């Protein structure tokens, strides 16, 4: 990996811009009302920090995660020297499809930069741990970006907290 700290900041910034493209209201109508959807964006970059492709949550279909679309778009790309930037920790639990942390490991990507951990109790830190156990170096950009990403996802976080409070009653 041959790019500067400054470039890493720019790349997380680009990921945030992608996340803002998530059409929450539109997605909400395609699920039942209990579905809790975050804004998520990401970019895949070369060893020199050039953007190879980008994606956001629900870009191609309401039930596809950002990382799924991103990896689909980057199908022909040799992943070993690439780095993935994504605003939210990749998931490790999904009912019917392979979770994104596993997709990332299988793709051969070796470096992942995440903007914040997923506050969902079914994922929180476990996506990160799964990738690390499987040879991926995971960098946190918590301090620099977490506040902004949390603010962007305030509705998502609030709904998760309400659900968790309900579950423990």
Question: Which residues participate in catalysis according to the annotation?
Answer: 59
The stretch near Zn ion (CB under 5 A) out of 78-86, 100-108, 117-125, 140-148 is 100-108
52: part of which helix (H) or strand (E)? Answer: strand 51-56
Q: Are strands 51-56 and 83-88 parallel, antiparallel or unpaired?
A: unpaired
Residue 91 interacting with Zn ion (CB under 5 A): yes
Residue 109 interacting with Zn ion (CB under 5 A): no
Nearest to 44 by CA among 16, 25, 22, 71: 71
**CB of 27 vs Zn ion, minimal distance in Å:** 14
Compare residues 30 and 48 and give the one whose CB is closer to Zn ion.
30
**CB of 65 vs Zn ion, minimal distance in Å:** 3
Nearest to 41 by CA among 94, 84, 98: 84
Residue 102 interacting with Zn ion (CB under 5 A): no
Residue 65 interacting with Zn ion (CB under 5 A): yes
> Within positions 129 to 148, which residues make up the interface with Zn ion, using CB under 5 A?
none
Q: Please report how many Cα atoms fall inside a 13 Å half-sphere around the Cα of residue 59, on the Cβ side.
A: 21
Cβ-contact 49, 3 below 8 angstroms = yes
Cβ-contact 130, 138 below 8 angstroms = no
Compare residues 39 and 91 and give the one whose CB is closer to Zn ion.
91
Q: Which of 44, 100, 131, 160 binds Zn ion (CB under 5 A)?
A: 100
Residues of this chain that interact with Zn ion (CB under 5 A) are 65, 91, 100
């Amino acid at each position: 990996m041959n790019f500067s700290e400054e470039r890493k900041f720019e790349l997380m910034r680009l990921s945030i811009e992608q996340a803002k493209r998530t059409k929450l209201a539109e997605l909400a109508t395609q699920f039942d009302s209990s579905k809790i959807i975050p804004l998520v964006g990401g970019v895949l970059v070369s060893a020199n920090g050039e953007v190879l492709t980008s994606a956001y949550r629900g870009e191609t279909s309401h039930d596809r995660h950002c990382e799924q679309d991103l990896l689909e778009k980057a199908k022909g790309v040799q992943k070993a020297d690439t780095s993935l930037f994504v605003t939210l920790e990749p998931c490790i639990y999904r009912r019917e499809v392979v979770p994104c942390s596993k997709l990332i490991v299988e793709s051969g990507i070796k470096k992942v930069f995440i903007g914040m951990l997923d506050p969902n109790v079914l994922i929180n830190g476990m996506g990160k741990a799964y990738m690390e156990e499987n040879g991926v170096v995971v960098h946190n950009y918590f301090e620099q970006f977490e506040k902004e990403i949390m603010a962007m996802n305030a509705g998502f976080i609030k709904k998760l907290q309400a659900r968790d409070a309900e579950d423990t009653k």
